[in-house]
Amino acid sequence: MLAARGAARIPTAIGYTGRVEKLAVLLALTGCDMAFGLHAPPIDAAPDAPDAPIDAAPDAACTQKVTRPVIADGQIYATDPTLPGNDVTAMNLQYTAGLHTVGLFKFDVTAQGLPDAIELELANAIHDPACGTSCASTCAHLEAPGDLQVFVMTSNWDEGSGLNRGATWNCRRGDTSGCVVADQWYAPGATDPRDRGAQVATFTSSPGMSASIPIDLAAWAGVESNKLSFQVVAGFNGAKMLVRAKESTCDVGTPAAQLVLTYCP
């Protein structure tokens, strides 16, 4: 019986010896603290830092602006179709029974590519002799709020000087005797699609205030010989706007109409 009992204990001794050998190896590899949990790593270790975004830096702001001053401006009169408005110092844009006028503005855009945004800036004629007797005369009392429309011109026109009286309601350019057929608008007031293209903006005027008008980029298709021009038309709801012309000598330092082109680098 003793022999049998001793034989029965042999596997237990072998298993114990194996466990001791494994523990010895573990202690050699990790040390006592780690093996017995005395210095175990935290269960919830800090997560790995997130991968850096591919486009870490935001796109640059659209701050590259090019300002082009008006090179030709004037108004044409439906109520006096042969009268040029090339020498006015303030354009009185309105559509009333007594006066129906349209403003024309031309800009040189040489060396400019298609911008990301276009704005037409019309300076208010704050003071002008046309509103009274001198540069001390204010113009706001002649204005009224209302809607105006902006069209891109597709037919070239002249402001005129000297014997060339420039654009009128009937003509794109002319002289003291009028204009030849080739220099007439396709329709009086430049309303034919061959004279003006699509409407590219609508805005509401406020007496005594200048206007900065966002222009549809489709207007860029109207560039001809590096020039881009617009027609500004008062609506039927009583708008009256006094716009400073480049010939104005009042309020020195105030620019006339400008075209602002914005580019996103």
Give the integer Cα–Cα distance in Å for 244 and 125.
4
Six token digits for residue 249 = 């000598």
Q: What is the pLDDT of residue 27?
A: 42
Q: What is the pLDDT of residue 176?
A: 67
CA distances from 141 to 92, 132, 252 (A): 12, 11, 21
Q: What is the pLDDT of residue 161?
A: 75
Q: Give domain limits for the chain.
A: 1-42, 64-263
30: left (phi over 0), alpha (psi -120 to 50) or beta: alpha
Element (DSSP H or E) covering residue 25: helix 2-35
Q: What angle is formed at CA 227 by the lines to CA 176 and CA 213, rounded to 5 degrees?
A: 100
Q: What is the pLDDT of residue 49?
A: 54
Q: What is the pLDDT of residue 50?
A: 53
Find, among 250, 257, 205, 241, the residue nearest to 101 by Cα. Answer: 241
Q: For the chain, which ranges sit under pLDDT 50?
A: 1-27, 29-30, 32-43, 52-58
Give the integer Cα–Cα distance in Å for 110 and 107.
9
Element (DSSP H or E) covering residue 126: none
Element (DSSP H or E) covering residue 231: strand 227-234
Beta bridge partners, 127, equal 138
- What pTM does this model have? 0.76
226: left (phi over 0), alpha (psi -120 to 50) or beta: left
